[in-house]
Amino acid sequence: MIGLLSGTSADGTDAALVRLSGFGSATRIEAVAFLTVPYPSSLRARVLRGPELSVEEVADLSLEIGDVFAQTAAAVAAAADLGHGEIDLVGSHGQTVFHRPRRGNRPASTLQVGDPAPIVARTGAVVVSDFRTADVAAGGEGAPLAPLLDRLVFGGLGRPVVVLNLGGIANVTLVRGPEEPVIAFDTGPANSLLDGVARRELDAPHDRDGREAARGSVHSELSNRLLANPYFELSPPKSTGRETFGDRLIDDVRREHATLRTADLLATFTQFTVESIARAIERFVSPVARPTEVIASGGGVHNRTLMDALRQRLDPIPVTTSDAYGVDPDAKEAILFAVLANETIHGRPGNLPEATGASRAVVLGRISA
């Protein structure tokens, strides 16, 4: 089986080839191969325009990304000498181009593009896609979906842990046991602001290893003002996106702080990001169960400045990465969509209502063959 994903960072397509057996809490996962194919910068730029895209552009993107995903699926299959017709099942998250959380009486709305048809054609597999809509239709936010895998992988540890994914957005899952309800929600930004500054001011896809941020100093007043964002006051379940913590916020900050050095802006966004994660854990997780460890995954684990700051801020809670438990931190989210597709094929729900806010657990996705 293959899991396919491009996250909110829109940095590239992640493809995980896995051998799965069983379902539900009896699922066994063997990771076979993983690769990321970076998006061309022009494709990334178009995706990141999000809500400003025309219908025509969204239609084009859907088939183009479907093609890119199909090629990436074929490539990861080829890494294990598997060709057309030799993959049983593909779970494809697609690419989020718009995500609006629920607020008051207004329901959530979320759109992932990346048509499954080219993936079916290229792999010969059954493809499950569009995982978030069924949860939204059940009154949820369609996010986060990672908690199902987090509980499957870490539920057996016998102690409360926080699983932290550092994608464009950061999300946490408190895992207490294999059957216990989770607490899971988006905490705010992870890489989204850092990447935006790198793209605009360093002409780079990201601030590699957080080097530029490490040379800057934190503008505390700015950081404190960012921490006053009303999102942080909301009680979970809750989700957010680049619409709130993306380029528009960077524009606002730059308008008011035009002369702040790039390194200082990166240092400030790093500190703000770390503080928002730490406060979210202290406020919404620790009162329920004090985490014995924070287990990080996602591309943000490669940002040394971010990880060092997180370790310092969360001390004495140790911050580790998921590879300590045999899960490649870059592959974890792609593996999730193979596992969710497997649940769907077995007719089983994939959302955890306590994480998404849905009124009930529902079978996720559409099946194409």
Ligand X SMILES: Nc1ncnc2c1ncn2[C@@H]1O[C@H](COP(=O)(O)OP(=O)(O)O)[C@@H](O)[C@H]1O
Closest approach, Cβ 44 to ligand X, in A, equals 9
- Residue 103 binds ligand X (CB under 6 A): no
- Site map (CB under 6 A) of ligand X, residues 317-346, x = contact: ----------------x-------------
CB 86 to ligand X: min, Å: 27
Residue 8 interacts with which of Mg ion, ligand X, none, CB < 5 to 8 Å by class: ligand X
- Residue 185 tokens, joined: 């929600």
Q: Please, what is the minimum distance in Å from the beta carbon of residue 364 to ligand X? A: 18
The stretch near ligand X (CB under 6 A) out of 88-96, 142-150, 298-306, 320-328 is 298-306
Interior/surface letters 28-52, b for 16+ CB within 10 angstroms, e for the rest: ebebebbbbbebeeebbebbbebee
DSSP conformation class of 260: S
| Element holding 111 (H helix, E strand) | strand 109-113
Piece of 5-13, 91-99, 203-211, 219-227 that binds Mg ion (CB under 5 A): 5-13
Asked whether position 150 contacts ligand X by CB under 6 A, the answer is no
Under the criterion CB under 6 A, does residue 114 sit at the interface with ligand X? no
Applying CB under 5 A, which part among 10-18, 77-85, 223-231, 280-288 lies near Mg ion?
Answer: 10-18
Chain center to CA of 163: 12
8 binds ligand X (CB under 6 A): yes
Give me the least distance between CB of 325 and ligand X, in Å please: 17
Compute the distance between CA of residue 361 and CA of residue 209 in angstroms, rounded to an integer. 39
Contacting ligand X (CB under 6 A), which of 115, 141, 186, 195?
Answer: 195
Binding residues with Mg ion: total (CB under 5 A):
3
In 176-251, DSSP assigns E strands to 183-189
Instruction: Out of 2, 3, 4, 9, name the contact with Mg ion by CB under 5 A.
Output: 9
- Residue 40 tokens read as 């061309």
Residue 365 near residue 4 (C-beta atoms within 8 A): no
One-letter amino acid for residue 242 of the chain: R
Residue 212 touches ligand X, criterion: CB under 6 A? no
What does the DSSP assignment read for 155-182? GGGSS-EEEEEESSEEEEEEE-SSSSPP
Which of residues 190 and 226 has its CB atom nearest to ligand X in the complex? 190
Token pair of 11 as six digits: 């940095």
Q: How far is it, in rounded angstroms, from Cα 2 to Cα 366?
A: 16
Q: If phi over 0 gives left and psi between -120 and 50 gives alpha, with beta otherwise, what is residue 91?
A: beta
Question: Of residues 129, 187, 191, 244, which one binds ligand X by CB under 6 A?
Answer: 191
Q: Determine the Cα–Cα distance for residues 179 and 181; give it in Å rounded to an integer.
A: 7
In the complex, which residues of this chain contact ligand X (CB under 6 A)? Answer: 7-9, 11, 167-168, 191, 195, 206-210, 298-300, 302-303, 333
In the complex, which residues of this chain contact Mg ion (CB under 5 A)? Answer: 7, 9, 11
